[in-house]
Amino acid sequence: MTESTEIAGMEHYELAANLKICRVLNGMWQVAGAHGHINPQAAVEEMIRYHNAGFVTWDLADIYGPAEDFVGDFMRRLPEQERQKVQALTKWVPEPQRITRQITRASIERSLKRMGLSSLDLVQFHWWDYNNPYYIDALKYLSDLRDEGKIKNVGLTNFDTERMQVMKDANLKIMSNQVQYSIVDRRPEVKMTRFFLENNTSLLAYGAICGGLMSERYLGRPEPYSELDTASLKKYKRMIDAWGGWQLFQELLSILKRIAQKHVVSIANVATRYILDKPAVAGVIIGARLGIANHQDDNARVFGLQLDQDDKSSIEDVCKKSNDLFEIIGDCGDEYR
C-alpha cells in the first residue's frame, strides 16, 4: 500500500456520534453491471488510491453486483489502522414480500460476511412498493440488529417525506435518507429538507452531476442519443428532458462553465458544491468508475470552492425557466414506484 496523501481541506460530516463521513462519497453503482466491464483487481487497486487521497467513504448496496465483495477485498489489503478509517455504507434492497426477522438477519449477515466486517456503519433500506406494508417490519428488525450491534445506524434510500413521517410516528430512529438531488432535480427542497431539519435527519445526495452529463464534455454538444451508453447517462438524460430539455440544459452548462472558470474548477465541482451547501445535506455521492476513469483530483477541488451569491443567483435564474419536477414526478423516490 502506498503512503497516504490525504487532501488538505477535505470536509467531513458527523452523520452520527459513531459515524463521521467524507462529504464526497465514492458511489459504487457503477460496478453493478450497467456501466461497462469492471476488472476486479483494477477496481480494488483504484479503491486503495481513493483511500490514500482521503476519500474513505463508500456507498454501495447488496444488489450492486460484486460491490460488497470489492469492499471486502479492499479492506483486506489495508493495514489495521487504515481499515479503521473506512466507512462502508451499504443498502439492503429486498424484494417486496413478507419480511421476517430471519430474512432480515440473513441478509445483514451476508453483507457482513462479504465485506469481512463485524458491524455495518450504515444500512440504507430501500423498498419498492409502499402498498406492501412490511417495510415497517423490516425497519423494526433492522433497529433490533442495530441495538444488538450488527448495525451501527439505520438509514433509508429513496423514501418520500410521507413515509418518513410514518416511521417517525412508529418511533423508528432513522439517521439519513439517500435521494436524488441536483441543480436539475431540486425536489428535496419542497418538503423533505424541512422534515430533515425538524427531526435532526441528514440527506445523502446522489445524481448531483447527472451521471456525468453536467460536465464540460457535454457543453456545446448536440443532444446525445446513441452515445448514452451507461445506465446513469440514460437515467439522467430523462430527468433533463422532464426538467426543461437539452436547450435549457445547455444554458445551464454555459452558466456553470462561467462560474467554474471564475473559480478555476470544473463544471462538476460547481454542481457538487451547490448541493453540498444546501441545508441538511451531509454529503454528495459521486460515482467511481473504478479502473476506468479517475476523478480523485477533480473531486478534491470541491473542498476549496466557495460559491458566492452572484454564482448562486446565476444558477437560480436558469432554474426559474425549468419545469417543476415535484409536480411532474412527485416527492423524492417516486420515480421508482
Q: Which three cell numbers stand for residue 120?
A: 455495518
Q: Which three cell numbers stand for residue 284?
A: 454528495
For the chain, the C-alpha Rg in angstroms (whole number) is: 19
Q: How many residues in total does the chain contain? A: 337
Question: Is pTM beyond 0.85 here?
Answer: yes
Q: Which three cell numbers stand for residue 283?
A: 454529503
CB 288 within 8 A of CB 28: yes
Torsion of CA 202, 52, 62, 167, to 10 degrees: -10
CB 92 within 8 A of CB 123: yes
> Where do we find the cell 423516490?
333
Q: How far is CA 323 from the centre of its chain?
A: 24
The domains located in the chain, with CATH, are 12-212+267-307 (3.20.20.100)
CB 11 within 8 A of CB 275: no
Task: For 177-202, give the DSSP string.
Answer: EEEE--SS--GGGTTHHHHHHHHT-E
pLDDT at 30: 83
- Specify the DSSP class assigned to residue 165: H
Task: For 260-279, give the DSSP string.
Answer: HHHHT--HHHHHHHHHHTST
pLDDT at 1: 45
Q: Where are the alpha helices (DSSP H) in the chain?
A: 40-52, 67-76, 80-83, 101-115, 134-148, 161-169, 192-199, 231-243, 246-263, 267-276, 296-300, 309-319, 325-329
Encode 242-272: b = buried (16+ Cβ within 10 Å), e = exposed.
bbbebebbbebbebbbebbeebebbbbbbbb
Nearest Cα to Cα of residue 91 among 129, 59, 119, 124: 124
Rounded alpha-carbon distances, angstroms, from residue 190 to 130, 229, 272, 319, 327: 20, 32, 20, 15, 10
pLDDT at 187: 98
In degrees rounded to 5, what are phi and psi of residue 259? Answer: -65, -40
What is the residue-level pLDDT of the chain in tens, covering all 337 positions? 445 555 668 999 999 999 999 999 999 998 887 666 778 899 999 999 999 999 999 999 999 999 999 999 999 999 999 999 999 999 999 998 999 999 999 999 999 999 999 999 999 999 999 999 999 999 999 999 999 999 999 999 999 999 999 999 999 999 999 999 999 999 999 999 999 999 999 999 999 999 999 999 999 999 998 888 888 899 999 999 999 999 999 999 999 999 999 999 999 999 999 999 999 999 999 998 786 777 889 999 999 999 999 999 999 999 999 999 999 999 999 999 8
CB 203 within 8 A of CB 179: yes
Nearest Cα to Cα of residue 169 among 139, 211, 148, 191: 139
pLDDT at 6: 59
pLDDT at 35: 63
